[in-house]
């Protein structure tokens, strides 16, 4: 691996971290909104929440798998330097 490849891998890693940081911020905002909505809905919230969790889970899982594969590739390339 060359210095240029290492630089590219590190840039990629930090770009992924930036993306994850942004996603985490968005997620925390969404969780706070859901919390407030659940308080408003009252006892019916569990049924509504379960329905929304079921519909949103597959999208999240796909993105998570893609991101972790990219991160694992970068880690393996960096480890191969030694």
- Per-residue pLDDT, 82: 62
Distances (CA, A) of 28 to 17, 24, 32, 34, 58: 16, 6, 6, 10, 19
Tokens 């996603």 appear where? 23
pLDDT band at 27 (very low <50, low <70, confident <90, very high): very high
Residues 46-72 have pLDDT tens digits of 788 778 877 776 667 777 788 888 888
For Cα atoms 2, 18, 79, give the angle at the middle one, nearest 5 degrees: 30
- State the Cα–Cα distance between residues 45 and 38, nearest whole angstrom: 6
Cβ neighbours for 6, distance < 8 A, ≥ 6 positions apart: 78, 81
Instruction: Please report, for the chain, the start and end positions of each structural domain, with discontinuous segments joined by +.
Output: 3-79
């Amino acid at each position: 691996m060359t210095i240029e490849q290492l630089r590219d891998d590190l840039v990629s890693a930090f770009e992924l971290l930036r993306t994850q940081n942004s996603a985490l911020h968005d997620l925390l905002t969404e969780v706070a909104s859901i919390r407030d909505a659940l308080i408003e809905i009252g006892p019916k919230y569990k049924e509504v929440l379960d329905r929304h969790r079921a519909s949103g889970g597959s999208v999240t899982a796909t993105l998570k798998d893609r991101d972790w594969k990219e991160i694992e590739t970068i880690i393996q390339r960096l480890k191969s330097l030694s």
